[in-house]
Structure 1
Amino acid sequence: MKRGSGLAAMAAGLLLLAGCGPEEGKESAVEFAEAACSGWTKAHDALKVAKEAPDGIDGSNTAHDEALAVFQDYEQAVNDAREATSAVELDVEDGAEITAMFDEYYTSWAEGIAPALEAFASSAKEGDEVQVDISEAKLALTSAEPSPLKAPWNHIESQPVINAFDDTAACGDIVNVY
């Protein structure tokens, strides 16, 4: 028995030296969690601002332009979130797949925003229609985010990444995976 447990301890030590231990990928997982959670939070903050964009009740060109700028900021925040997660080289098993899930999620979100933004950008700039166009754009932009069931957080199985999401302050407002 002693010989077997000695071999097991030696094998475990070799695995740790080879980078196969519990700390493998921890740094990149933390970096990824921070990018994913802060990007998601910034995108949602921008969505809140978009929902509160000027309503165009005065029918002015200024209201249209202000709303357009806010809507474009929202689109940029979603694209920034995608770029932030894509920029991290996630050094864990299934790291490339996890990164791809986030890329797909944010790409889908941005693709939901684009047509609404394009329609609004080319809509009436003055008059009574501005208010209607802003309301329609807000509704379309609000529904652009993919279903929570498609959120990548729900599909992560890598324990170092799950731990990083649980331990990262930026992820405090996001439902973590288990």
Structure 2
Amino acid sequence: MKKSFISGYKLNEKFQLPQWSVLVISIVIALTTSASIYRLNRWTEQSNYAQVLLVKMAEQLSKINALEWEAIALKKFSSEEQEELTEIREEIEFIFSELKKIDRQNNQLNYIANLYEQYDTAINQEIEFIQANQIEKAIAIDREIVDPIYDYMSEEITTLGEIYLLK
């Protein structure tokens, strides 16, 4: 038999790994698989949580929409309604903070946050006009600014929810 360049091994002999190395390789594969499954489960949980948060956000925005329509219809915005609006705004801020914990770099989420800031500013203007009994101006702001932003924001929230569903 010829000796190979690697001393101690003959060319026609099969190379065999030591038995302990098979065990080590098996453990490494098992750990890698477990880590991958853990990451997938964690992402699925986060994705589901994000979807729930987006549904809650849409619900809170609908509450604001109902409040401002009621204020226009009644031609007043009471302190109770102001308290309710404050609570809704706090809930929306909480939702945004939770969503950013999940997916801080999401451009669409940041875009929705910017839309919300515009919407909130327009709502404040509308309320000021209602409180000043300038109902026609409040209706104009609602029609020209508030409602279009609300509709667009709702579409963006739905789209983002679908994206999280597919992830």
Query: Normalised by the shorter chain, which TM-score bucket?
Result: 0.5 to 0.7
Matched, 1:44 2:53: no
Match of 1:57, SS state, is helix
Cα deviation per residue 1:63-98 (whole Å; 9 max; x = unaligned)?
9x837954882x54444333213335xxxxxxxxxx
2:120 maps to which residue?
117
Equivalent pair of 1:153/1:177 in contact (CA under 8 Å): yes
**1:132 Cα shift?**
4.0
Amino acid aligned to 1:28: R
TM-score, normalising length from structure 2? 0.58
Output the CA distance in 2 between the equivalents of 1:66 and 1:148: 25
Q: Aligned residue for 2:148?
A: 139
Question: Is structure 2 residue 47 aligned with structure 1 residue 33?
Answer: yes
Q: Deviations over 1:19-42 (max 9, x none)?
A: 665423245324413431221111
Distance in 2, Cα, partners of 1:69 & 1:105: 28
When residues 71 and 50 of structure 1 are mapped into structure 2, their CA distance, relative to the original with a 3 A threshold, is farther
RMSD of aligned alpha carbons: 4.1
Equivalent-residue separation in structure 1 for 2:22 and 2:155 (angstroms): 47
The one of the two structures with greater contact order (alpha-carbon pairs below 8 A, sep at least 6) is 1
| 1:107 lines up with 2:144 in the alignment | no
Aligned pairs for 1:9-158 within 5 A: 11-18=25-32, 21-53=35-67, 54-62=70-78, 66=81, 70=85, 73=88, 76-88=90-102, 99-102=103-106, 104-123=107-126, 124=129, 125=131, 126-129=133-136, 130-136=138-144, 137-145=146-154, 147=156, 151=160, 153-154=162-163
Task: Give the structure with the higher percent helix.
Answer: 2
Give the direction of change, closer, same or farther, for the CA distance of 1:78–1:117 in structure 2 (3 Å limit).
Answer: same
Q: Give me the identity figure in percent.
A: 7
Work out the number of aligned pairs and report it: 143
Report the CA distance shift for 1:121/1:69 in structure 2 as closer, same or farther (over 3 A): farther
Gaps of 5+ in 2: 1-15
Matched to 1:109, the amino acid is I
Task: Kindly name which structure, 1 or 2, has the bigger radius of gyration based on alpha carbons.
Answer: 2
Q: Which runs of 5+ in 1 are unaligned?
A: 89-98, 155-164, 166-175
TM-score, with normalisation over the residues of structure 1? 0.56
